[in-house]
């Protein structure tokens, strides 16, 4: 998982967060490859994109639709969990994914997506 955390840490450096000043980096492992993302804020606030979804969408855009793990890195005092919207988007491509939250200071937590989003809504609910 170290390369994944390293990629998220590096992506965090490219966060565009002039309003919250809360820089987030994320990286997903999909198809054996790593795809990174960062949060991108907007003057209209509501159009802000989280780092996790940036990374997930980068993987999908590259042709990878199965996500095995995601790492999220912030400089917060404790590891930052993914927001609800990002949990639901991750559910689509990584229903069993490992979710690692890490701080730049080295703290870490690890969960599975079902732990973070139990009894979730997914593609099977539409059949
Ligand atoms: N943010 C993320 O990128 N991921 C999360 O899971 C939580 C929040 C971003 C959105 C916004 O740019 C800033 O953090 C403060 O909410």
pLDDT digits (tens, 9 = 90+) for 63-107: 999 999 999 999 999 999 999 999 999 999 999 999 999 999 999
Please work out whether the CB of residue 52 comes within 6 Å of at least one atom of ligand 1: yes
**pLDDT band, residue 27 (cuts 50/70/90):** very high
Over range 2-15, report the average pLDDT: 98
Please work out whether the CB of residue 116 comes within 6 Å of at least one atom of ligand 1: no
Question: Burial, 6: exposed, middle or buried (Cβ in 10 Å; 0-12, 13-18, 19+)?
Answer: middle
The residue whose CB lies within 8 Å of the most ligand 1 atoms, and thus the one to mutate among 12, 16, 22, 56, is 22
Contact 32, 65 (CB under 8 A): no
Cα(15) to ligand 1 centroid in Å equals 10
Task: Verify whether residue 52 is a known catalytic residue.
Answer: yes
Q: Which atom of ligand 1 is nearest to the CA of 17?
A: 12
* Residue 30 tokens, joined: 């999909």
pLDDT in tens, 33-49: 999 999 999 999 999 99
For all residues of the chain together, what is the average pLDDT?
98
**Token pair 């990629």: residue:** 7
Buried b / exposed e across 68-100, counting CB within 10 Å, b at 16+?
bbbbbbbeeeebbebeeebbbbbbebbbebbbb
Superfamily classification of domain 2-126: Cytidine Deaminase, domain 2 (3.40.140.10)
Q: Where are the domains of the chain?
A: 2-126
Q: Read off the pTM.
A: 0.97
Please work out whether the CB of residue 34 comes within 6 Å of at least one atom of ligand 1: no
């Amino acid at each position: 998982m170290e390369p994944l955390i390293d990629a998220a840490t590096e992506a965090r450096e490219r966060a565009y967060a002039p309003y919250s000043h809360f820089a987030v980096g994320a990286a997903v492992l999909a198809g054996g490859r790593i795809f990174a993302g960062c949060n991108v804020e907007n003057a209209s606030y509501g159009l802000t994109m989280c780092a996790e979804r940036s990374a997930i969408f980068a993987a999908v855009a590259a042709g990878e639709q199965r996500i095995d793990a995601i790492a999220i890195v912030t400089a917060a005092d404790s590891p930052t969990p993914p927001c609800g919207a990002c949990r639901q988007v991750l559910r689509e491509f990584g229903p069993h994914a490992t979710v690692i939250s890490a701080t730049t200071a080295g703290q870490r937590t690890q969960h599975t997506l079902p732990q973070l989003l139990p009894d979730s809504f997914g593609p099977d609910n539409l059949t």
